[in-house]
Every structure is written in C-alpha cells, then in structure tokens.
Amino acid sequence: MSSRMRYFFVVKGGAVAYNVWHMLKQLRNKRLMKRIIWGLAIVIIPPFVFWGAGSALRSRDKGPAYAGTIFGAKVSFDEYNSAWRAVKDQALMIYGTRFRDISDQLDLNRQAWDRLLLLKEAARERIRVSDRDVIAAIQKFPFFQSRGGFDPQTYNLVLRQAFGIQPRDFEEEIRDSLVIEKLRDQVLKNVAVTHTEIKDAYKRYYEKSTIAYIIISPERFKKRIAANESALKKYYRDNKESFRVDDQVNIEYLPFEFLAYEKDIQVTDDEVKKFYEDHTEYFDRKKTFNELKEAVKAACVQARAAQKALEAAEKADYALADASKPLEDVAKEYSLPVRETGFFTRDGMIPDIGWFPEIQKQAFRLKVGQRSELIKPASDMAKGFYIIKVKEKKDSYLPGYEEIRQKIETTLKDEKASSLAAKEARRLHRVIAELIVNPPAGGRALSFEEAAAKVLRSPHRSEPFARSGYVQGLGSASELGEDPFTATTKPGVLAPVAKTRAGFCIFTVAAIMPIDEKKFRKERGEFTDKVLESKKMNALNQWYAALLEKANLKSNIPDESQPGLP
C-alpha cells in the first residue's frame, strides 16, 4: 500500500476536510479524473439558475499594464487572475486538503496560461455550452447532493468553506471548463486505432527476448591507467565547473514516520471487513475478500498508523506555534527524537528520509535557526510527516584542487577506462563477427558462443525479458534499445555494441518469444482502450504544441507570481 493511499485514508476532522476528501473519492468512483488531469475539469454549475451574480476576482500587481499576449492580443490582469483562480480551484478538487502542501509543485502560472490559450482557441472555433447542458450536468454531481438531489445549502457550504469563492465566479469557471472539454473532444473526434496498432503495442508490452552476451567492463582497464599530477591538474582546469558543489543545507527534524506507529495497532476482523467495504476501489476486484484479507489488514493497520502519526504531528506543530519554545523542549514533551540529516542539496536524496521535495523546498527557503510548520507528503515514497529546523547552510562553491584531488583522479580514471573498454568492445565485435562469417580455413562456421569463447570467454545467456524488464548481469533492458527485439535471430548475427551500466555489451539474439495469441484475443478489448488513450494523449500534445507556437504566447507574469492562496 503506497503512502499516498495511506494518507488519503486519514480522514481529518471537520466538515471541510471531509467534504473535499469525499469529493475526491466520488470523482475517482465516477472515473472523471482523466478529464481533470488534462485541465478540463467537469465540475458543472449552472451560471445563473441557482444563485445570483457575484463579483469576479480582481487584483493587479504593480508592473506592466497587461498580463501578456496571445495571438498578438493583450490579456488583462483580470483575465489572467480569473484563469489562475480557476486552475487553483481545479487543483483543490483533485488534491483536496493536500493542496497547500503541494501547491508549489503545480506551476499554476503555466496552467493559467494554458487555460487562457485554450479558451481563446475555443472562441475562435465558436464553441459554446448551453445552459441546458450545464444544468443537466450539475444535477449529476454527488458532492453537491443531499437526499438524492442537488442541495443548494451543501453547494454553498462547499464553495464557501472548501474553495473560498462566490457561487457566480465558480459557475463561470466551470462554464469555461466545459467549453475546453468540447474543444478537446473536437480535436480528438477522429482519433482511432487500427488492429495493427493495437497488436504492435501489445507486442511491445508483452513480447520477450533472450540474448547471448559478453560484457566488456571498464573496471578491467582501471589498473592499467596511470594519472600523473600534471594530467590531474589539466583535467581539473578543463572541467572545473563539473566539480562545483551545489548549495547545501543541514537540518534537525522531528519525525512522525508511519512505521513507528504501526507496532501498537491491533485490528479486529470486523474492523478489517469494514475497512475493505469503505475502500474497495483500492483493491483487486477480481479477488474475494478472503483472498485479500491479509493485504486489507495490512492496509488498515497502515491507515491507522498514518492517522496516529498525523495526530501526533499536529499536536507538536500546535505546540511549536509558540516561536519561543525550543524544538528540543517539544520533542521531550511528546517523547520524540530530534534527528539531524547532515548536508544535502536541493535535488539530492535526504539522508535517512529519502526523496521528499517538500522538505527540500522548505529547508532551502528557511533561514538558519528557523523551523517549518508541519510538512506533509505529496510523494508515494514518503515515509511520514516532519517538522524541520535549519541548522546550517553552505553556499555553492568550487572546491580547490587539493580538496578534491582524489575525486579528480577517480573521475579521470573512470573516463579513460570507459573509453578503453568501448574501444576494446568494438575490436572484439569485429573479430567475433569475422570468425562467424569467415571461419578458419577448412573449419565449419562458428556460432556466436563459439566465436566469443575463442577470443575472450563463453558468453552468458539471459532469461527471457521484456522491453521494460531487467537483464541479469546487465541492468535495465531499455539500455539495449530495440535490438533484442528487432535484430535477426539468425544464429551468430551480432547486434551493435550497446553501452550499459555494467559495461559494453556484445550480444546476439538467441530467441524472440512471440505474444500469446489466445491471451491477446482475450485482452484485446481492454488493451485497445489503453492504446487509444495513449494515441489521444499524443495527438493532443502535438496539437497543443502547434497551437502554442501559433499563438506566440508572451507572459509579463513572473514565474513565481501567484495572486494568493485562499
């Protein structure tokens, strides 16, 4: 169970948090997320039927007289702010109570311009949405309903508390979203897939190959390489910037990691059953509850642990609202450890925590001695919640020669060893190919295995692997490219030398295992949907890239500028 799923199972107190979380769940159940992801959210509100007029968002920063241009026409700040507000509201619907934690990663500025451009193009295409369509659609939305029908009170509550927006403004956002959806449908109306495209895609996914190969590793050449002081200093002079050390930060932190809270959690069979019934969408529906029971139990424990971690984190966070209270005092009060990461960079892994962009952004934003509010995960890989305090910072700098002499020597030797290995692999490739094509006088034709053994050693033979698979001893199959699946299987014919993480690979295709035709016929319908969706996505990307170039969009809005979060 991913930490994201675990996090969503944590239902925070309060009607607003519940409404937004419940709305997210309903959207997933109704399979509307595909449209939302494309910035074409279908949250459909009638523009004037249920509520009176409201004022649009109005704000203008000092600077240029207009926000930018699209198709050479000026875009006012009012237009830009309205679009920014719309994409922000859309993100609220997707991420719910997690929106604040990940808003920095969403690039709402770019999304606002995307929305404006699409609306301009829709206007050029004379695309409209009727009131009848809007009203019919809103009546189907579950999160504005009560007792089986649309409820104005619920509608007003969600807009006011979850979105912080007047009904009329929100309704106009949704009308625009429907216009964009129509534009999207118009662009994609003729996109279809053929039987050949479906089968080719299926082959790319399920076809497997077996290869015979030898590896020429750079490691075997390192002992031959001598690097004198003059060569090292020259390499340093020629490649100084590659040794630059990025900005670094060292933090202290309070951890609220999920695993630490799991050990004391016990759940009954009835609680596991209830958890399954409440979250069936997260589990394999082809299996029975009994088959899934252990997995459901683990998920239930993890969800409870995440809830306990969140509760503990929020208590500590509340205590630390008193800026005069030391981090160590709060840690002692709540029996928490204070840990230290050691230095890390903006893009590097955080020692003992891992990949956590939210922490990295906060750590580099805060000053030495400052601490963060509670930091919540946006990544599936995050282990919990954290509160951090910046202990030390180091600016980017270029180390002197003596400081990194060993690193220079290692880097130089690695480069030279790789170059020698590549040269040797090309030579052996030619020799082996020659032995196969032109065997010794009076001798029989040699196989790849025989030729390889004659000049170096007997080759390895891989287990069957797919294009996205792993080759034992080599690494990712993608490093071999398409050759294992497109090269001829005629005995002894060599593919080009391939550079892999393990070294330079000389190989021949031993066998290509075709797809299971019976399985293909059985899964063709479901796979067709995937291929069609991928083709539509590519078509939409290409269309939008062309539209963007034609529109010559120019923005006067700074990249970091945002009108403000609610």
Q: What is the pLDDT of residue 490?
A: 65
Buried b / exposed e over 380-398, threshold 16 CB at 10 Å, is: eebbbbbbbbbbebeeeee
pLDDT average, residue stretch 113-138? 89
471, 465 contact by CB (below 8 A): yes
Residue 566 has pLDDT above 70, yes or no: no
User: Among 3-17, 204-218, 544-558, where is mean pLDDT lowest?
Assistant: 3-17
**Within 10 A of 119 (CB to CB), how many other CB atoms are there?**
21
402, 222 contact by CB (below 8 A): no
Report d(CA 16, CA 7) in Å as an integer: 17
pLDDT average, residue stretch 310-325? 92
289, 300 contact by CB (below 8 A): no
Residue 269 has pLDDT above 60, yes or no: yes
Which residue matches tokens 């519940």?
Answer: 18
Q: What is the pLDDT of residue 380?
A: 59
Q: What is the pLDDT of residue 60?
A: 46
Residue 10 has pLDDT above 50, yes or no: no
Q: What is the pLDDT of residue 24?
A: 35
| Among 394, 382, 289, 387, residue whose Cα is nearest residue 344 | 394
E-assigned strands of 358-411? 384-394
Q: How confident is the model at residue 99 (pLDDT cuts 50, 70, 90)?
A: confident
Tokens (6 digits) for 510: 């031993």
Find the helix or strand (DSSP H, E) in which 150 lies.
strand 149-150
Residue 26 has pLDDT above 50, yes or no: no
166, 61 contact by CB (below 8 A): no
Q: What is the pLDDT of residue 97?
A: 66
Q: What is the pLDDT of residue 140?
A: 74
Report d(CA 9, CA 307) in Å as an integer: 8
Report d(CA 357, CA 287) in Å as an integer: 36
pLDDT average, residue stretch 536-542? 95
Q: What is the pLDDT of residue 464?
A: 95
Which residues touch 177 (CB under 8 Å, ≥6 apart)? 40, 41, 42, 43, 44, 86, 90
48, 168 contact by CB (below 8 A): yes
Residue 16 has pLDDT above 50, yes or no: no
Tokens (6 digits) for 151: 């409820």
Residue 40 has pLDDT above 50, yes or no: no
Q: What is the pLDDT of residue 197?
A: 96
Give the three-class secondary structure for 209: strand
- Higher pLDDT: 243 or 139? It is 243
Which residues touch 237 (CB under 8 Å, ≥6 apart)? none
Give the three-class secondary structure for 492: coil
Q: What is the pLDDT of residue 261?
A: 92
Report d(CA 527, CA 521) in Å as an integer: 10
Q: What is the pLDDT of residue 36?
A: 32
Q: What is the pLDDT of residue 491?
A: 58
Find the helix or strand (DSSP H, E) in which 521 lies.
helix 517-551
- Higher pLDDT: 16 or 519? It is 519
E-assigned strands of 333-431? 339-340, 344-345, 384-394
User: Among 40-44, 108-112, 383-387, 537-541, where is mean pLDDT lowest?
Assistant: 40-44
Percentage of the chain beyond pLDDT 90 is 61
Q: How confident is the model at residue 85 (pLDDT cuts 50, 70, 90)?
A: very high
pLDDT in tens, 456-493: 889 999 999 999 999 988 999 999 999 999 866 665 68
Q: Looking at residue 66, what DSSP letter applies? A: S
Residue 358 has pLDDT above 90, yes or no: no
pLDDT in tens, 419-428: 999 999 999 9
Report d(CA 160, CA 56) in Å as an integer: 15
Q: How confident is the model at residue 379 (pLDDT cuts 50, 70, 90)?
A: low
Cα-flanking dihedrals φ and ψ of residue 507, to 5°? -145, 160
Percentage of the chain beyond pLDDT 70 is 85
Average pLDDT, the chain: 83
Report d(CA 487, CA 497) in Å as an integer: 12
Tokens (6 digits) for 459: 């080759």
